[in-house]
């Protein structure tokens, strides 16, 4: 049995959290491969180490001294080192990094990756585990994708059988040896890659909540945790706004059919959420909604044209215009003689008038409109396909609460029901669904 375990920033915030991690690992010796994030916030108003490193780089780029910020960074790590009484001196490496910053010899990606690097150094020393630098095995292709075959082989060659190891998350190397980082939250991907490389039996992702919650706790008071969720459902939840896991971390473990268990460092006895390809039976056969999530600030570009359903290539022309501007479309609800595209407002607002003019020229629609301030809400559940009238019940609940639906989109497998509402109704829509179908 082998478990790859990843601990997020809140789990790495201070020496007390390090002690919790050691207890978790001692409770189960199969947890022998540990991936860590940079130190997160210790309390409200505190700073994440990665944010400070980004800020440090920005100061240097604008010719501003970053010594005060860098001192905050070094103090965090040296405090942990001192509190745990570690026989490890990070001082020389931190001093060398500061000299590189001042000389502008370190890239932004290398600088921000040091948050995870120093966390892993400290954790390896504390546990007495082998330290394996992510730069020695996470191999990126020139296009920024991960070379999985090369990465997996490199990690297997560096693991010492019978010994535990600690790996920094978030980064790897390009073919030319330059440090390259994943997007924020990318330590989840590092853990997933490690689990896949080593054919782990389970990938445990430890955070500060006891599993994936059915709704955002900032919107719904004390939402229930989801005991079981499929890879497909998690992908839908992550894409639609849920923030527990980086959405791209699912792919490596899914290819190897490795279960993922979301656990809480501060409540290690809680079972958390188990994620698999499929489950036999259901823990709660009466619950058809797995989770409710969403995001704000979308725009809907809508056009209509008489006889559109009999014309070939109308949608392609619209999508081609958006492709020219490097804009990705999230949803495409449509009718017989009308079609809409739903996309983040931030991606389209700069070139909106040019885009609208090009669509008008290419398609020559009868009407062409754009609507802003739209929020997209997704109700996700693998049992929806077997429950007649679910959409009607959802829309009835929203209607009774006076929430106007601006857009509806549903896939043929009925894994989710997606609808758009005004930004101002976003939180109310999530609360109505949770209270109507879960609580």
Q: What is the pLDDT of residues 49-62, one digit of tens each?
A: 999 999 999 999 89
Q: Measured between alpha carbons, how far is 12 from 331 in angstroms, rounded to an integer?
A: 37
- pLDDT at residue 311 is higher than 90: no
* Structural contact between residues 314 and 305, judged by C-beta atoms closer than 8 angstroms: yes
Domain with CATH 3.30.2130.10 in the chain: 291-437
- pLDDT at residue 389 is higher than 80: no
What confidence tier does 290 reach under pLDDT thresholds 50, 70, 90?
confident
pLDDT number for residue 383: 64
Residue 35, phi then psi, degrees to nearest 5: -110, 135
Task: Report the share of the chain in percent with pLDDT over 70.
Answer: 95
Of 375, 390, 392, nearest in space to 429 by CA = 375
pTM: 0.84
Burial class (CB in 10 A: 0-12, 13-18, 19+), 209: buried
* Structural contact between residues 192 and 5, judged by C-beta atoms closer than 8 angstroms: no
Count CA atoms closer than 13 A to 211's CA, side-chain side. 21
Q: Measured between alpha carbons, how far is 4 from 31 in angstroms, rounded to an integer?
A: 6
Of 170, 329, 342, nearest in space to 248 by CA = 170
What confidence tier does 286 reach under pLDDT thresholds 50, 70, 90?
low
- Partnered with residue 341 across adjacent β-strands are 301
Could you tell me where the DSSP H helices lie in 325-409?
A: 345-348, 352-363, 390-400
What confidence tier does 115 reach under pLDDT thresholds 50, 70, 90?
very high
- pLDDT at residue 287 is higher than 70: no
- Partnered with residue 299 across adjacent β-strands are 343
Q: Measured between alpha carbons, how far is 102 from 67 in angstroms, rounded to an integer?
A: 9
* Full strand arrangement of the beta sheet holding 291-304: 338-344, 291-304, 367-380, 416-422, 407-410
pLDDT number for residue 283: 53
Q: What angle, 0 to 180 degrees and rounded to 10, lies between the N-to-C axes of helices 108-127 and 49-61?
A: 150
| First-last CA distance in the chain | 38
Q: Measured between alpha carbons, how far is 122 from 243 in angstroms, rounded to an integer?
A: 27
pLDDT number for residue 413: 61
pLDDT number for residue 162: 85
- pLDDT at residue 246 is higher than 90: no
- pLDDT at residue 184 is higher than 80: yes
What confidence tier does 129 reach under pLDDT thresholds 50, 70, 90?
very high
pLDDT number for residue 239: 74
Q: Measured between alpha carbons, how far is 354 from 366 in angstroms, rounded to an integer?
A: 18
What confidence tier does 282 reach under pLDDT thresholds 50, 70, 90?
low
Could you tell me where the DSSP H helices lie in 256-308?
A: none
Stretch 143-162: mean pLDDT: 95
* Structural contact between residues 204 and 6, judged by C-beta atoms closer than 8 angstroms: yes
- Partnered with residue 434 across adjacent β-strands are none
CB atoms under 10 Å from CB of 154, counted, come to: 17
- pLDDT at residue 105 is higher than 90: yes
Angle CA 43–48–50, to nearest 5: 170
Q: What angle, 0 to 180 degrees and rounded to 10, lies between the N-to-C axes of helices 15-26 and 67-83?
A: 40
Domain with CATH 3.40.1160.10 in the chain: 3-276
Strands 3-7 and 31-36: parallel
Chain mean pLDDT for the chain: 92
pLDDT number for residue 112: 97
Report which DSSP code applies to 11: G
User: 289: which residues sit within 8 A by CB, 6+ positions away?
Assistant: 214, 379, 380, 381, 384, 433, 437, 438
User: 92: which residues sit within 8 A by CB, 6+ positions away?
Assistant: none
Q: Measured between alpha carbons, how far is 240 from 50 in angstroms, rounded to an integer?
A: 25
Per CATH, the number for 3-276 is: 3.40.1160.10
Task: Report the share of the chain in percent with pLDDT over 90.
Answer: 75
pLDDT number for residue 385: 60
> What superfamily would CATH give domain 291-437?
VC0802-like (3.30.2130.10)
Q: What angle, 0 to 180 degrees and rounded to 10, lies between the N-to-C axes of helices 49-61 and 91-102?
A: 30
pLDDT number for residue 414: 61
- pLDDT at residue 368 is higher than 80: yes
Q: Measured between alpha carbons, how far is 293 from 303 in angstroms, rounded to an integer?
A: 28
Q: Measured between alpha carbons, how far is 387 from 212 in angstroms, rounded to an integer?
A: 23
């Amino acid at each position: 049995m082998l478990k790859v375990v990843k601990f997020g920033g809140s789990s790495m915030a201070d020496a007390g959290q390090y002690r919790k991690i050691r207890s978790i690992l001692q409770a189960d010796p199969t947890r022998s491969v540990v991936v860590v994030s940079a130190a997160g916030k210790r309390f409200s108003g505190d700073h994440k180490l990665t944010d400070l490193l980004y800020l440090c780089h920005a100061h240097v780029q604008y010719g501003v001294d970053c010594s005060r910020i860098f001192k905050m960074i070094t103090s965090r790590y040296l405090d942990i080192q001192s509190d745990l009484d570690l026989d490890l001196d990070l001082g020389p490496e931190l001093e060398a990094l500061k000299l590189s910053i001042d000389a502008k010899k370190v890239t932004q990606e290398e600088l921000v990756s040091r948050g995870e690097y120093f966390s892993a150094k400290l954790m390896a020393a504390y546990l007495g585990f082998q330290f394996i630098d992510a730069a020695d095995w996470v191999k990126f292709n020139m296009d920024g994708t991960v070379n999985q075959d090369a990465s997996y082989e490199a990690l297997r060659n560096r693991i010492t059988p019978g010994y535990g190891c600690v790996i920094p998350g978030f980064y790897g190397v390009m073919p030319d040896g330059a440090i390259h980082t994943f997007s924020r939250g990318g330590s989840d991907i590092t853990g997933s890659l490690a689990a896949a490389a080593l054919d782990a039996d389970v990938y445990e992702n430890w955070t500060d909540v006891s599993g994936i919650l059915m709704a955002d706790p900032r919107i719904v008071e004390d939402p229930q945790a989801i005991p079981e969720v499929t890879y497909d459902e998690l992908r839908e939840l992550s894409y639609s706004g849920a923030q527990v896991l980086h959405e791209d971390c699912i792919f490596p473990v899914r290819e190897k059919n490795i279960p993922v268990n979301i656990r809480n460092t501060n409540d290690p006895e809680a079972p958390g959420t188990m994620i698999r390809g499929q489950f036999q039976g259901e823990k709660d056969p009466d619950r058809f909604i797995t989770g409710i999530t969403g995001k704000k600030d979308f725009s809907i570009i809508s056009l209509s044209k008489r006889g559109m359903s009999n014309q070939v290539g109308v949608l392609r022309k619209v999508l081609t215009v958006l492709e020219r501007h490097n804009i990705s479309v999230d949803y495409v609800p449509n009718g017989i003689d009308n079609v809409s595209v739903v996309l983040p407002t931030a991606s389209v607002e700069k070139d909106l008038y040019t885009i609208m003019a090009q669509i008008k020229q290419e398609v020559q629609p009868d009407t062409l409109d754009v609507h802003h301030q739209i929020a997209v809400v997704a109700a996700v559940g693998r049992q929806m396909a077997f429950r007649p009238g679910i959409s009607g019940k959802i829309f009835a609940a929203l209607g009774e609460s006076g929430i106007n639906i601006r857009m509806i989109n549903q896939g043929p497998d009925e894994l989710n029901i997606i609808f758009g509402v005004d930004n101002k109704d976003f939180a109310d829509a999530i609360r109505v669904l949770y209270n109507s179908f879960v609580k």
